Amino acid sequence: MKKNVLFITSDQQHWDTLGFRNAEVSTPNLDRLAAAGTTFSNAFTVNPTCTPTRSSLLTGTYPSQHGAYTLGTKLLEDRSVIGDIYQQNNFRTALVGKAHFQPLLSTEEYPSLEAYPILQDLDYWRKFNGPFYGFEEVELARNHADEAHVGQHYAIWLEDEKGLHNWRDYFLKPTGNLTASEHEWKIPEECHYGYWIAEKTIEKLTRYKQNDENFYLWASFFDPHPPYTVPEPWKSMYNPEDLTLPEIVPGEHDNSPYHIQLTQTENPDFSFLRDPENPGTVHGAGSHLHNKDAMAKNIAIYYAMISLMDKQIGMILDKLDELGLTEDTLIVFTSDHGHYYGHHGLAAKGPFHYDDGIKVPFIASLPGKIPEGKISENLQSLVDMVPTFLSASGIKPPIYMTGKNMLPEWTEESAPIRDHIICENHHEPYHVHMKSYVNKEYKITVYYNQEYGELYDRINDPKELNNLWDNPKYQHIKGQLFQKFLYAEMGKEQLAMPRITHA
């Protein structure tokens, strides 16, 4: 029987924020998903920002291949995407929640549906539910927490199904901030966007079951991406004084690249990262100095956002069980990238490739196929999701996809498939262009046209405190890693078709 796929993602979730791994955060529903499947503790994103990674989750290719290589770009509509392939094989396809395949600015050359002013034109969205990047149906929104971007189908749901006609009162205004108590989002809990995602996902699952249809369904949650704000009673769920606060280790940045050292200063000058003809900012290019008490409060809300999301995910998992669909559905939970909340002295995200920013939580479950309750240290990459999903559904992945089919490994029918991962980070027109090659023993990060870089011993220095790039004892290893990195890049070459003859 063809397997369905339920893909559940969070946004900017640190890899070590699942309850069964971290006793300081409560995630009972994700814990039960882990008990029913395999958790991969060495899963990595392809890029530590949203658009590039989410586009890879549609295409099975790297950002440098599909073209949406950074925030502010768009995934061009002519790219082959997973939903098109599923539809060609008689699967229903839908996306509920965050897309972010397009930028907030629309131009004549590169129009965007996820941009102002159409973003908040509810008359438009009442008539538009797809198709969109291979999805027959979409229910979309763009904001994080109480951001001003709110609109699209979420706002319509607030009005039409929740009767919250004054919903604008609960969100930031484009030109100013709400007056609210610290971290508390006054919106009624039942109107939180996570419930909208859960309800719309459940509606589609119910319809697919009634019509006996196979499906590929992506439930794309917004949390725990900042701003750090959540409704009560979740706001009071965690006491900041009870939480472990990651901190910078004295001296750890002595050998770090200059832009990382700058984050630990007041009013740093990052102008060298910017093109004078294209003024703007790079995410994270600023001071990351922070007050410890304020950060502890942020962590408490960050964990609360995860716990609320976990409840909403539980609603979806319960319905899947109730409908009798669990046995025939591959369920994968992960996040688009990681998050810093004090690790290495950093906050949120930026041009950094520490594990905290590029590793992601990752759980895969398929009853009777994927082992239950297992924790695997095998390397995983988000570029592999598309070919793996297609394979689980009995569909042969296209030859041009550079991602690998991981299903044989997940089901223990093969040895580990990956011996490395690659993470890219390119912020043109800004002078940030970096790539990392990671295997089980080492991580090397190369900066384009720069003599500096990063090299970490993942076995003996798992917290990445000692940059070995210039260490004389590691120059031979660095040379070997450069060679492996080159081989890995060559292995990413796309093939348009198989060879069918010798001439």
Query: Which tens digits make up the pLDDT trace of 77-115?
Result: 999 999 999 999 999 999 999 999 999 999 999 999 999
Query: 334 burial class (0-12, 13-18, 19+ CB within 10 angstroms)?
Result: buried
* Listed residue (13, 162, 8, 156) closest to 95, CA to CA: 8
Check if the beta carbon of residue 357 is closer than 8 Å to that of residue 337.
yes
Burial 21-56 (b: 16+ CB within 10 A, else e): bbeebbbebbbebbebbbbbebbbbbbbbbbbbbbb
Q: Which residue has the tokens 């640190």?
A: 14
Whole-number Å distance between alpha carbons of 3 and 367: 11
What pLDDT is stored for residue 273 in this prediction? Answer: 82
In a domain, residue 502? The reply is no
What pLDDT is stored for residue 428 in this prediction? Answer: 75
Distances from the Cα of 163 to the Cαs of 142, 172, 192, 207, in angstroms? 21, 20, 13, 24
Number of domains in the chain: 1
Tell me the CATH number at 222.
3.40.720.10
Q: What is the pLDDT along the chain (503 residues), one digit of tens a residue?
A: 689 999 999 999 999 999 999 999 999 999 999 999 999 999 999 999 999 999 999 999 999 999 999 999 999 999 999 999 999 999 999 999 999 999 999 999 999 999 999 999 999 999 999 999 999 999 999 999 999 999 999 999 999 999 999 999 999 886 655 555 579 999 999 999 999 999 999 999 999 999 999 999 999 999 999 999 999 999 999 999 999 999 999 999 999 999 999 999 999 998 888 776 665 668 888 999 999 999 999 999 999 999 999 999 999 999 999 999 999 999 999 999 999 999 999 999 999 999 999 999 999 999 999 999 999 999 999 999 999 999 999 999 999 999 999 999 999 999 999 999 999 999 876 778 999 999 999 999 999 999 999 999 999 999 999 999 999 999 999 999 999 999 999 999 888 888 888 88
User: Token pair of 430, please?
Assistant: 């800004």
In a domain, residue 230? The reply is yes
User: Token pair of 255, please?
Assistant: 């050998």
In a domain, residue 457? The reply is no
* Listed residue (238, 229, 243, 235) closest to 193, CA to CA: 229
Whole-number Å distance between alpha carbons of 428 and 272: 13
In a domain, residue 31? The reply is yes
Spatial neighbors of 68 by CB under 8 A, at least 6 apart, are: 51, 52, 55, 74, 75, 76, 101
Element at 289 (helix H, strand E): none
Check if the beta carbon of residue 45 is closer than 8 Å to that of residue 353.
no
| Residues constituting the chain | 503
Whole-number Å distance between alpha carbons of 303 and 235: 9
User: Token pair of 333, please?
Assistant: 């939970």
pTM across the whole model: 0.97
What pLDDT is stored for residue 498 in this prediction? Answer: 85
Which residue range(s) make up the domain with 224?
4-249+294-419
In a domain, residue 314? The reply is yes
What pLDDT is stored for residue 278 in this prediction? Answer: 64
What pLDDT is stored for residue 496 in this prediction? Answer: 83
